[in-house]
Amino acid sequence: MSIHKAALLAVACGVASAIELTVSSSGGNASSPLLYGFIFEDINHSGDGVLHGNLLQNNGFQGNSPNLTAWSAVGGAEIAQDSSNPLTDAITSTLSITGTSGTIGASNAGYVSIRVTPNEYANYFWVKGTYEGNITVSLVDSDDTVLGSTGVPVSSNSSAFSYYETSFSAVESTTGNSSWHFTFDAATATDGGLNLGLPQLFPPTFHNRKNGLNAEVAEVLDSAKGSFLRFPGGNNLEGTSVENRWTWNNTIGPVEDRPGRQGNWGYPTTDAIGLVEFLLWCQDMGLTPLLAVWDGLTVGGGTTTDDALQPFVNDALNELEYLMGDTSTTWGALRASHGYPDPFDIPYVEIGNEDFLNNGLETYQDRFNLFYDAFHQAYPNITIVASTSGLAETGCSGTECGIDISTGVLQDVHQYLPPKDLIAKFNFFDNVDRNAPILVGEYASTTFDNGSTTYFPTMAGSTAEAVYMIGMERNSDVVKMSCFAPILEHFDMAQWSPDAVGYDAANGVTRSTSWFVQQLFSANRGDTILPVESDSGFGPAYWVASSAGNTNFVKLANYGDASQTISINIDGKTTATLTQLSGGQEDSNTPGEENVQPVVTAIDGNGTFSFSLPAWSVSVLVAQ
């Protein structure tokens, strides 16, 4: 029976006809090896509070008005933020703890609470005040159960801070509500108390880095097998004023020499994940760095232009010298003094962030040119990225978008849309200039179709993202890089939802449906996009095929409320693995509950693989 007659019979019987796809074994276009990656900025307490290993909040009294956030007195002590006893020129306040008798101290609740699991915890802190004896550091549950503790022999004085390191084992919290305690014998503190400076508490870190990433969170990110990291933002790069911008040389060296700042998202940031930590993150996950530099635009604080911008161009050149210069250079020597004698490689630099906002387009061309000319002269092999594009997605086009730029410069496209509008963008990249490479620097389905905000991604939104990504992947000869945003949130301290991965003290990491889509697409990539013949047009099913060596990949999405039967012909293939993520239109994972997860099955076939695409689903077929 012909395909056409079979389709007519199926319709007559009230059954949806099968979609037949035939994947070509030749032709097509090359796919960018950097197609899927990450963007990171400290939003939703995703840096301090989630990804960075330190579990103590407000440990350095940074930001505009830290006060005693997260701190409480223990055992009748009196505690206060003390600016008269700074730890360093950067950490200008420490915690004063005073009392007259008994065991006294202070506790820190972390970011709402401290996640405690059966692990070894490293502790670092400074002490000032005359004291000879033990100080106890511990993790304590809300029911007063001590989960782990150790005594630290301290010999300190009132003239300078003394530094201590220790570690202890802890058992798992049963309440999901724990705090860190620092206690001592008041009678032994002969000055009437002690000052505690910049305490830090770390669970195991990714690749065992000191001042490293929280391994529990970083291992989830690593599982996506991304190819690049765009940093340090995002709006967090721009700052609310020139003085409040992300300043690279305030984020290097020992953490006690980093002043931190009031971040763009309403809370202080410590910059403990600083410039070098971003590069170590790249090394440990095999990611290509995409460094964004401040280009004069602030969020709500005006724009720096013309001659006034030149010092900031020079500052960006210093940043690149710090990262890439050899030890004979001023800034390269400073990097070496920080423990990194070998230069880092920075192949991509983005000039600014979202210069299509905040009246940035009025001056972006001139500002872009200043940075581009300086970078291209000093580092001709760096690929430059413009923070806007001429693709009309921002309501402007061509030179109105400030992108009259040299061939080879990537244009950054950002698209946050409801599901129906992401579906409408499926063929967006089919129609772009093939000589103008693109970075899709931020995208996500952020609301329901009616405009109401989703708390955590839904299957409808995640499936729409998959359709959009299929559109990107089909055009990955011109779409060179893409990254979902934001990737992380603290469930209890978020400013922006939805996000790909959530975290809280009680549950640790919760992966969303959108995260699973990102992981499926990134971890199953070909290097060549293959032509596909079909007996059906796109919608509600969408697909893209690729290959790498002898392996074929077919990615599919069903953005509809009825299942679709599909048959895929791949010459010479007899076995395949099918991974499917599916659920109801509004189904969503919730903190600690990953009810919607991919399901993996094996499929046999003689060059043909037939299966069903459930409603609201994303599938990846890998045939070998």
pLDDT digits (tens, 9 = 90+) for 405-463: 677 899 999 999 999 999 999 999 998 888 889 999 999 999 999 999 888 999 999 99
DSSP label at residue 52 = B
pLDDT band of residue 300 (cuts 50, 70, 90) is confident
The amino acid occupying position 240 is T
Q: How far apart are CA 237 and CA 110, in angstroms?
A: 25
The phi and psi torsions of 277 (rounded to 5 degrees) equal: -60, -35
Whats the size of the chain, residue-wise? Answer: 624
pLDDT at position 609, please?
97
Is pLDDT at 251 greater than 60 in this prediction? yes
pLDDT band of residue 393 (cuts 50, 70, 90) is low
End-to-end CA distance of the chain: 29
Is pLDDT at 301 greater than 80 in this prediction? no
pLDDT at position 320, please?
98
Please report the beta strands in 549-607, taking only residues with DSSP state E, as ranges in sequence order. 551-558, 564-570, 575-582, 599-604
pLDDT band of residue 364 (cuts 50, 70, 90) is very high
Of all residues in the chain, what percent carry a pLDDT higher than 90?
90
Work out the burial of residue 605: count CB atoms within 10 Å of its CB; fewer than 13 is exposed, 13-18 middle, 19 or more buried: middle
Most confident of 300-309, 362-371, 503-512: 503-512
- Calculate mean pLDDT across residues 201-218: 98
- Calculate mean pLDDT across residues 347-362: 92
- Calculate mean pLDDT across residues 174-186: 96
- Calculate mean pLDDT across residues 497-509: 96
- Calculate mean pLDDT across residues 556-577: 97
- Encode pLDDT of 51-97 as tens digits: 999 999 999 999 999 999 999 999 999 999 999 999 999 999 999 99
pLDDT at position 7, please?
35
Is pLDDT at 9 greater than 80 in this prediction? no
Work out the burial of residue 562: count CB atoms within 10 Å of its CB; fewer than 13 is exposed, 13-18 middle, 19 or more buried: exposed
pLDDT band of residue 2 (cuts 50, 70, 90) is very low
**Number of CB atoms found within 10 A of residue 352's CB:** 23
- Calculate mean pLDDT across residues 535-553: 97
Is pLDDT at 595 greater than 90 in this prediction? yes
Contact 258, 251 (CB under 8 A): yes
pLDDT at position 396, please?
53
The phi and psi torsions of 590 (rounded to 5 degrees) equal: -130, 165
pLDDT at position 406, please?
73
Over its C-alpha atoms, the chain yields an Rg (Å, rounded) of 27
pLDDT at position 359, please?
86
Is pLDDT at 3 greater than 50 in this prediction? no
Work out the burial of residue 621: count CB atoms within 10 Å of its CB; fewer than 13 is exposed, 13-18 middle, 19 or more buried: buried
Strand partners, 604: 575
- Bridge pairing between strands 383-386 and 348-351: parallel
Q: Cis before residue 486, ω within 30 degrees of 0? A: yes
Contact 505, 114 (CB under 8 A): yes
3-state secondary structure 435-504: CCCEEEEEEEECECCCCCECCCCCHHHHHHHHHHHHHHHHCCCCEEEECCCCCEEECCCCCCCCCCEEEE
- Encode pLDDT of 105-123 as tens digits: 999 999 999 999 999 999 9
Mean pLDDT of the chain: 94
pLDDT at position 307, please?
97
pLDDT at position 454, please?
87
pLDDT band of residue 16 (cuts 50, 70, 90) is low
- Calculate mean pLDDT across residues 279-303: 96
pTM attached to this predicted model: 0.95
**Number of CB atoms found within 10 A of residue 8's CB:** 13
- Encode pLDDT of 378-392 as tens digits: 999 999 999 988 765
pLDDT at position 539, please?
96
Contact 76, 131 (CB under 8 A): no
Q: How far apart are CA 216 and CA 47, in angstroms?
A: 14
Is pLDDT at 523 greater than 50 in this prediction? yes
Look-up: residue for tokens 């202080």?
Answer: 268
pLDDT at position 185, please?
98
- Calculate mean pLDDT across residues 116-132: 98
pLDDT at position 404, please?
73
